[in-house]
Structures are given as C-alpha cells and as structure tokens.
Amino acid sequence: MAALADDFVADLREWIAIPSIGADPAHHGDVGRSAHWLADALRRDGWPDVRVWDTGPALPAVYACWPAADPDAPTVLVYGHHDVQPVDPVEQWDHPPFEATVVGEELFGRGASDDKGQVAMHLLAVKAHLAALGTDRPSVTLKLFVEGEEESGSPHLLRLIDDHRAELACDLVVFTDTPVYARDAPTICTGQRGVYGAEIVLTGGTSDVHSGRAGGSVPNPATAAARLVAALHDDKGRVTLRDFYADVVEPTDAERADYAALPFDEATWLANSGGAQALTGEEGWSTLERVWVRPTAEVNGIHSGYGGPGLKTIVPAEARIKLSFRLVPDQDPDQVARALRDFVAEHTPAGLHAEVLPAGDGAPPYAVDVTHPAVGALREVFEAAFEQPVRYSRTGGSGPAALLHQRIGVPVVYLGATLPDDRIHAPNERVVVPQLLRGAEAAARLWRLLPGRVS
Amino acid sequence: MAALADDFVADLREWIAIPSIGADPAHHGDVGRSAHWLADALRRDGWPDVRVWDTGPALPAVYACWPAADPDAPTVLVYGHHDVQPVDPVEQWDHPPFEATVVGEELFGRGASDDKGQVAMHLLAVKAHLAALGTDRPSVTLKLFVEGEEESGSPHLLRLIDDHRAELACDLVVFTDTPVYARDAPTICTGQRGVYGAEIVLTGGTSDVHSGRAGGSVPNPATAAARLVAALHDDKGRVTLRDFYADVVEPTDAERADYAALPFDEATWLANSGGAQALTGEEGWSTLERVWVRPTAEVNGIHSGYGGPGLKTIVPAEARIKLSFRLVPDQDPDQVARALRDFVAEHTPAGLHAEVLPAGDGAPPYAVDVTHPAVGALREVFEAAFEQPVRYSRTGGSGPAALLHQRIGVPVVYLGATLPDDRIHAPNERVVVPQLLRGAEAAARLWRLLPGRVS
C-alpha cells in the first residue's frame, strides 16, 4: 500500500482542486468536471466499463463496473459521492479549501474526507487488490456508483436507481461515507439515523402590532411558538409526539456493550460539538446512545418579530420554527410527520393559524443486520488492516443507505475509515491519510474474502 | 374655532412636509428644520418668548412661554413632540406621507396625529383662548415644551429638563400625546403604562453544530429559549416573575365602571390590533383593563439558528429573545429588571450561558391622581367641547409622563383628542380634523378655568 501512497495523494489533490459544490448552481459545471475527472481516473486504472450519467435532472454521477473472473462471484456495489459542501466562511480556512495541503499525515481540503477521500480509497483498494492477486480481474464483480447530489439530500437518487436498475443490480451495497469511531478505536458502522424536517408557521394578525396598543389582549405567535417547542419534550428529555417511540428498535445488549467499551472523552466530545459546554439528553442513555440509537427532536431555527438593535415593542404577526427529527429503525418519517401535524394542531391556541410545511428531503433510518456474513468479514478485514480490536459503532447523521437498501433490494453495509473530527461540512476539513490507506487495505482484503461468504 | 380652521390645516400641512424622523440620522437636519418651523409659527402667533434648544446632545426641542396677565395665575407646561416615526413600508401609503392630503374630515400624513397635530391643536387653542378673552395675555402662564426625540424613547429628556429647570418650572404639566377612546366616546386619559425592555442571550457552543453529529447530546439554546418564554406566564396568563404584581395598584371601582361603560366592539379592536384573530390575556380582566391597567410580558422577537429555505440540521450556538414588559403604577422597572435576571438564571439549563441586556430606554408607568382639581376641570371642558358625556380611559402605550412628573415635581394630566385608529407608527397615519378643533376648544376653555382651581 505504501508504494501506491504517493500517487494516491497526488490524484486526490487533483480531484479536490475541482470545487464540485452541488448546492451552488454556479458550481454545477464543476460537479460535471469532477465526474469526468473520476471517470478518467477509473479508465486509467483499467476499469473496463466507466460511464458518466449526466443527462439530468440529477447532477452528474459516475458508474463503473469491473467484472470478476468468476462469473458466479458475488457483485458488490460501492456507493459514494463526489459533490462537496460549500466552504463558507472561507476566511476561517488555514489553507485554501481547493488547494489540498499536506501537513504531516493530514491532507487539508474540501472533500478530503467527505467524500472524495473515501471514494479515492476504494480506487486504491482495487489497485491493491489486483496487485495482491497478480491478475486483472477482481475476486468479486465490483461496481462503483458515485453520485453528485448527496450533500443536497440526494434528491434524484431514486430516479437514478430506477433509470439504471440493470447496471446497479448487485448482491451487496458497500456504503462508503461514514467514519470510524476514533483513530485508536476503529469501528464498523452499523447504522445511520434518518431525518424528517418541517417548518411550523404560526400566524396571528396580518401585521405586527404595537404592544402598547394591543399587548396583553391578543395572542402572541412568538409566545405560542415557544410553548409549542417547550411541550415537545417531557422532563426526561423524551419527545412527546404521539407514538414517537412505538417503532423504535432498541440496540442489542452486544451493541450497548460495544458502545460502552469505546473510549469516551467528554471534553473532546464537547469540543467537537461546536464547543458545547455540557452533555444532556434523554434520561437513561449514554451520550453515544443518545446520538446513535435514540431519536431526537431538535429546533434548528426559530424566528419571529424584531431582531435588530434596541427595542421594538411589537406583538409579531408570525413565528416560524425549523424543526428536525433524527429517527432510528423502524421509525417511519411519514408517521412522524402525521404525529407532528396533530401535535401542532393540539398546541395552537385560539386566534392563531398554524401550518406544518415539509422542509428538506428527509431520509429513513437504516441499521445493518449484524448477523449478515459481510459484517463478520468486515470486522475481520478491519482488524487485519488496523491491527486493533474492532467494535461496532453507528453515526448520528443521515444518508441514503435506507433508500439504496429499499430500492436495490439488497443489504447495505458500511465501510468507512475517516475520523469524526475531520471537520466535514466545516472550515479546515482534512483527512488523515494513513486512515485511508488502512481503509483501502481493508477493502482490498474484503473483496478476496466475500466470495463464499456472500452470494 | 371654525374661522381659524383653514389656516390651522394649511399650517399643519406645511409642518408635516418636514420629514422630522428622529430615528434616522439622515433626517436629523429635518428635525432641526421642524423645530425652527414651530418656533417661527409661535412667533407669528405672538408668543413673546420662543427658543430652540439645539445645542445637543438632544435633537432640537422648542420652548416657548406666554406669561399670564395676572402674575399670581398658575403656570401650565404643555408637553408634546415634533419628531415623527419612520414611514416604512412607504409603498403601503395611499398618499405621500410628507405631502399631507385632506380627504373629507381626515388629514393624512406622518405626524398628522402623532404628535404635530396635537401640538398644532395647542397653538390653535391659545389663539382661540386669547380671541375669546379679547386680550393678548392668557389666563394662565403658558409654557410649551416640544421635544424632538420622543419616538426614540426621549433619551435626553432628563438632561433637557435638568439643563432648563427655571424655564420648565410650572404648577401643572399638560401632556398632549394620547388619544381619546373613540369619536363617539370622548375620554380623559388618566395614565400610561411603563415599559421595561430586555434582550436575553442564551449561548451554548462557540459555533452551530451539525445535529447529526451532536443532536440529542448537547443543550439546544433555541429549545432553552422556548422553555424560558413558555415559563414566563402561568396558565391564567399571569407573569411569573417574582413579586411582579406586588406593587400593582388596581384601578378603582369607579374607573372599572367607566371602562365597562365604554362601547367595545371586538371586531374593531381585532382589526386595529394588526388583524388579530382572537382576544386573549390575563384571566379576570376585560380587554380594556388588560391593555390599560394590567402589566404584561410580551415577546417582541425571538431569533435562533437557521431561517432560510429548506432545512439546515444544526443545533444553533445561540438564541436571542427580545422581551418587553408593560408596567402599571406602582411597578418599578428596576425591580422588574432584577426579577427578570433571577428568572433567567433559574431557567438556564446546565451547559448554556445566559445574559440579560437592557434594550431600549424604558419608562416608568404613570397614573393621574383623579382627585386633582385639574382633572375635574378637564372633564368639564371636554364635555363642553365634545358635547357628550366624558369618561376616564388610559392608554396601553408608554411615554415620558412619569419622568416629567418626577423631575419637574408637579402633577401631570393628559389632554389629547386624537383617535386610537389614527394608524400612528403605521402607514396611512391620519388625524380627524374636527377632533383637533374640539380638542383646541377644550384647551382654550381649560386655560380660563384653571385659575382658582390650580395654584
């Protein structure tokens, strides 16, 4: 692997230089350039079938296939993405975000970790896999599917999958967009939370009114919004929506034991949580459990009335709440949406009008069946590559794993090697290069191990 | 009075044409022009001593004095203001705000009602008073004090008073910046609520954090802000600050009976309250009582986190609440400020930092002693001028009456004739000209009546 490392870093730097910010229409051309860069790299590596899917409406995605020597070998589809987050506030970057900079073991740049680095890791893994075999055909039929809209909530992923059913057919999806728990605690991710977002709009009058004129005599939408938010949790930190916990699958004792065995440093957790000053959350669960296996309701924003300097003594006409729920298996975003609408209706006082609007694209939760043989294989190759015991972890974020599972109809497992403190979505994103090299080694080993385990 | 009406309207239109918006530094020159317009008008009317106080830091104020023939006659200081509110959103005006337009009995323009119209009413009253007496010396020594910063919370009024103690010395202040209850229900205003404003800042981390990363494990300032606001009232609509009601002077039975006897139309009240859809408020009190004689806590604004399109799944770093309390005699704004600080400290969860900042200038509440002989005189002259029974009312807004009372050391009474639906502070401000003419008649009669009643 070390022999390939220099080229790997040089290639990744070239790719990072293309600012493929999918959320910004001004950069949509760059998303296309990024797709073609990847396609060219795959062709250089010898992938026999490489395609750029760029006929819209999805931003360009890349598909590649490298058939196994054995036609009966299983087919594995590696999923990743090549679009990146915006870079604002750009002045907080210590190095230009699109001029990847190496400092010791770290490579700084937008997309270094999320997700160009992990996709590049898989290109490297295939080279290493073939080199180890001394052949030009992998042990499994490898397919690569790298979309360009993940950071925008994968709005056209369903359509892409349905338009390319034959190409994407496989026996297993390997999802490569999650981190391990820590450098000294490599883990196999076994699930992501889902998300359902909504905006609640509470309207009183048709205009703000002077609080000297009417204050104390008419309902205040800001106060009503506050009461609604306050009612959303009970005093044990549990969400009060009807049947919110009815479908929650609790983690197994083995998973809880694994989580408890992971090193946990409160100060580091807080520092990585935007400099938060204390831990809190649902009673009866550890911090890792609260973030990985428990659902939440978070206020992402609340806005009403005057926010400028000094005082403006008004009763505001309107209040808006941005709310998102992180969901765990087997919660259903549609059921949560219905419960929220009922909750808002119950908590809207006379004289105010309430509307619940969907916000964002949402995603169902997903958890891996840890009894699937691929999971055991993953643990083996991780222990070999990282030379440490490997435990289970999850991630509190959301992604399209459930969608891939439902639509392609096969199990999804996670293979990621980045770190939670890579500052993805933030200034100074970086990747620790040895993590990617070890991840590539694990993947290279996995492709040898899967035939006979997965069919 | 009718003979003077045409000149009166022409003069008022000229004055309204000067956009004396005190809150906008770009219009500070206009505040000066407005002061000089008034000073010139007073000199034209024959006032022997007219001064513009424009040496700063206060925006220019106008002072005038017209000594009584009888050196033992009481001295009355009429207080008003010549600065006006901004005109945004200007596109909602049916007529240009600074080109006063007469439509039937209405005169439209910024300041027509608040407060140029009422100041002009007093100039007219003095002319009428002298004409009726057939002399050039009024029955009382009249002083006029018209400040230029009322719409900005009178930040330098204290300083103006202290710098001009001798000029402002008097036996009675007549405060002319309040409306009557309704056209068919003329009233004597007997009090204004005070106001105390504050901004509460709740801080969690040093930056927003991704809710997938940390959501459910760290305190959310937006949620904490909501809980704090929700805790501010009990289920009877009473403010829960410690000792909030301890110093509240309840209205007399006579006052409550007067309020109950006033015509009250719910639909009109709602329409005039920014199109609110229902009445609400503290249990056990009528709408008029809630706004006139009961203290309140209103959220004027609440802002935290994301407010743009779609969803941004963050735990915000900060939440800000703009809050104002309307106060009634004998509540003390300083005591309320202390109770609020304690309330916020009690309601700030671990891991959040809270700050309570003063916002706006605040004002103590004021109520007239209705047994003062000037009040009986006011009722008499109003009944004569308006040819209807006159009751007591109050206003829910705030102003510097308490400050004038405390600093000059004499009683303050209210003489105003405008209407609550004059849309002051809003587009399409207007004044009903016959109201000002009747108000002028009442004032002209009052100056004759006061000697022998007030000393």
Asked if B225 is an interface residue toward chain A (Cβ–Cβ < 8 A), one would say yes
B300, A314: Cβ pair inside 8 Å?
Answer: yes
pLDDT score at B28: 96
Under 8 Å between Cβ of A210 and A217: no
Under 8 Å between Cβ of A238 and B186: no
A305, B302: Cβ pair inside 8 Å?
Answer: yes
Residue A289 binned pLDDT confidence (cut-offs 50, 70, 90):
very high
**What does the alpha-carbon distance between residue A31 and residue A59 come to, in Å, rounded to a whole number?**
7
Å from B221 to nearest chain A CA? 9
Asked if A286 is an interface residue toward chain B (Cβ–Cβ < 8 A), one would say no
- The identity of residue A431, as a single letter, is V
Is the pLDDT at A1 greater than 80, yes or no?
no
Among A297, A321, A70, which Cα is nearest to B229's?
A321
**What does the alpha-carbon distance between residue A177 and residue B176 come to, in Å, rounded to a whole number?**
69
Residues of B in contact with A244 (CB under 8 A): none
**What does the alpha-carbon distance between residue A427 and residue A425 come to, in Å, rounded to a whole number?**
7
Among B261, B285, B63, which Cα is nearest to B168's?
B63
Query: How far is C-alpha B448 from the chain's CA centre?
Result: 28
Q: Map residue A3 onto helix, strand or coil.
A: helix
Asked if B313 is an interface residue toward chain A (Cβ–Cβ < 8 A), one would say yes
A378-399 pLDDT per residue, tens: 999 999 999 999 999 999 999 9
Tokens of B372: 């003062």
Residues of B in contact with A419 (CB under 8 A): none
Which of A278, A310, A326 lies nearest to residue B215, judging by beta carbons? A326
Beta bridge partners of B81: B147
**What does the alpha-carbon distance between residue A455 and residue B312 come to, in Å, rounded to a whole number?**
40
Give me the mean pLDDT over the A356-377 stretch.
93
Q: If you classify domain B194-261+286-358 with CATH, what class do you get?
A: alpha beta
**What does the alpha-carbon distance between residue A304 and residue B248 come to, in Å, rounded to a whole number?**
30
Give me the mean pLDDT over the A152-164 stretch.
94
| DSSP structure string for A40-91 | HHHHHHT-SEEEEE-SSSSPPEEEEEE--SSTTS-EEEEEEE--B----SGG
A70-112 pLDDT per residue, tens: 999 999 999 999 999 999 889 999 999 999 999 999 999 999 9
B360, A276: Cβ pair inside 8 Å?
Answer: no
Is the pLDDT at A2 greater than 80, yes or no?
no
- 3-state SS string over chain B? CHHHHHHHHHHHHHHHCCCCECCCHHHHHHHHHHHHHHHHHHHHHCCCEEEEECCCCCCCEEEEEECCCCCCCCEEEEEEECCECCCCCHHHCCCCCCCCEEECCEEECCCCCCCHHHHHHHHHHHHHHHHHHCCCCCCCEEEEEEECCHHHCCCCHHHHHHHCHHHHCCCEEEECCCECCECCECEEEEEECEEEEEEEEEECCCCCEEHHHHCCCCCCHHHHHHHHHHCCECCCCCECCCCCCCCCCCCCHHHHHHHHHCCCCHHHHHHHCCCCCCCCCCCCCCHHHHHHCCCEEEEEEEEEECCCCCCCCEECCEEEEEEEEEECCCCCHHHHHHHHHHHHHHCCCCCCEEEEEECCCCECCEECCCCCHHHHHHHHHHHHHHCCCCEEEEECCCCCHHHHHHHHCCCEEECCCECCCCCCCCCCCEEEHHHHHHHHHHHHHHHHHCECCEC
Under 8 Å between Cβ of B219 and B351: yes
Residues of A in contact with B289 (CB under 8 A): none
Find tokens 């400028």 and name the residue: A308
Which of A211, A223, A317 lies nearest to residue B326, judging by beta carbons? A211
Under 8 Å between Cβ of B215 and A323: no
pLDDT score at B405: 97
Asked if B320 is an interface residue toward chain A (Cβ–Cβ < 8 A), one would say yes
Among A48, A92, A178, A220, which Cα is nearest to B274's?
A220
- Interface mutation vs chain A, best among B88, B195, B213, B296, most A CBs within 10 Å: B213
The stretches in chain B having pLDDT less than 50 are none
- Interface mutation vs chain B, best among A302, A303, A318, A423, most B CBs within 10 Å: A302
**What does the alpha-carbon distance between residue B433 and residue B430 come to, in Å, rounded to a whole number?**
9
Chain A residue with Cα closest to B291: A216
Give me the mean pLDDT over the A258-266 stretch.
96
Residues of B in contact with A206 (CB under 8 A): 274-275
Under 8 Å between Cβ of A47 and A64: yes
**What does the alpha-carbon distance between residue B64 and residue B170 come to, in Å, rounded to a whole number?**
13
Asked if B219 is an interface residue toward chain A (Cβ–Cβ < 8 A), one would say yes
Q: H or E stretch including A288?
A: helix A287-292
Residues of A in contact with B276 (CB under 8 A): 204-205, 209, 214, 218-219, 315, 351
How many beta-carbon contacts under 8 Å exist across A and B? Answer: 340
Residue A28 binned pLDDT confidence (cut-offs 50, 70, 90):
very high
Residue B248 region, left (φ>0) first, then alpha (ψ -120 to 50), else beta? beta
A273, B195: Cβ pair inside 8 Å?
Answer: no
A185-235 pLDDT per residue, tens: 999 999 999 999 999 999 999 988 888 888 899 999 999 999 999 999 999
**What does the alpha-carbon distance between residue B109 and residue B86 come to, in Å, rounded to a whole number?**
12
**What's the N-to-C CA distance of chain B in angstroms?**
28
So where are chain B's domains? Answer: 2-192+365-449, 194-261+286-358
A276, B219: Cβ pair inside 8 Å?
Answer: yes
A304, B305: Cβ pair inside 8 Å?
Answer: no
Beta strands in A352-403 (DSSP E): 353-358, 366-367, 391-395
**What does the alpha-carbon distance between residue B234 and residue B245 come to, in Å, rounded to a whole number?**
13
Å from B211 to nearest chain A CA? 7
- The identity of residue B2, as a single letter, is A
Residues of B in contact with A305 (CB under 8 A): 299-302, 322
Architecture field, domain A194-258+284-358: 2-Layer Sandwich (3.30)
Q: Please provide the average confidence, as pLDDT, over all residues in chain A.
A: 95
A103-144 pLDDT per residue, tens: 999 999 999 999 999 999 999 999 999 999 999 999 999 999
Under 8 Å between Cβ of A22 and A115: no
Residue A303 region, left (φ>0) first, then alpha (ψ -120 to 50), else beta? beta
A227, B230: Cβ pair inside 8 Å?
Answer: yes
A296, B216: Cβ pair inside 8 Å?
Answer: yes
Å from B407 to nearest chain A CA? 24
Beta strands in A113-177 (DSSP E): 141-147, 172-175
Give me the mean pLDDT over the A61-76 stretch.
97
For chain B, how long is the longest CA-to-CA vector? 84
Asked if A272 is an interface residue toward chain B (Cβ–Cβ < 8 A), one would say yes
B377-428 pLDDT per residue, tens: 999 999 999 999 999 999 999 999 999 999 999 999 999 999 998 999 889 9
Residue A361 binned pLDDT confidence (cut-offs 50, 70, 90):
confident
**What does the alpha-carbon distance between residue A126 and residue A448 come to, in Å, rounded to a whole number?**
11
Q: Quote the radius of gyration of chain B (alpha carbons, Å).
A: 24
Superfamily classification of domain A2-192+365-449: Zn peptidases (3.40.630.10)
Residues of A in contact with B205 (CB under 8 A): 270, 273-277
Q: Which of residues 54-113 of A touch B (CB under 8 A)?
A: none
Which of A228, A280, A302 lies nearest to residue B351, judging by beta carbons? A280
Asked if B269 is an interface residue toward chain A (Cβ–Cβ < 8 A), one would say yes
Residues of B in contact with A208 (CB under 8 A): 274
Asked if B298 is an interface residue toward chain A (Cβ–Cβ < 8 A), one would say yes
Q: Map residue A383 onto helix, strand or coil.
A: helix
Chain A residue with Cα closest to B153: A311
Portion of chain A with pLDDT greater than 90, in percent: 88
Residues of B in contact with A395 (CB under 8 A): 212
- Interface mutation vs chain B, best among A208, A209, A311, most B CBs within 10 Å: A311
Asked if A314 is an interface residue toward chain B (Cβ–Cβ < 8 A), one would say yes
Residues of A in contact with B193 (CB under 8 A): 212
Beta bridge partners of A51: A63
Asked if B217 is an interface residue toward chain A (Cβ–Cβ < 8 A), one would say yes
Q: Map residue A425 onto helix, strand or coil.
A: coil
Asked if B271 is an interface residue toward chain A (Cβ–Cβ < 8 A), one would say no
- The identity of residue A177, as a single letter, is D
Å from B338 to nearest chain A CA? 18
Residues of A in contact with B324 (CB under 8 A): 211, 215, 311, 313
Residues of A in contact with B315 (CB under 8 A): 273-274, 276, 298, 300
pLDDT score at B16: 98
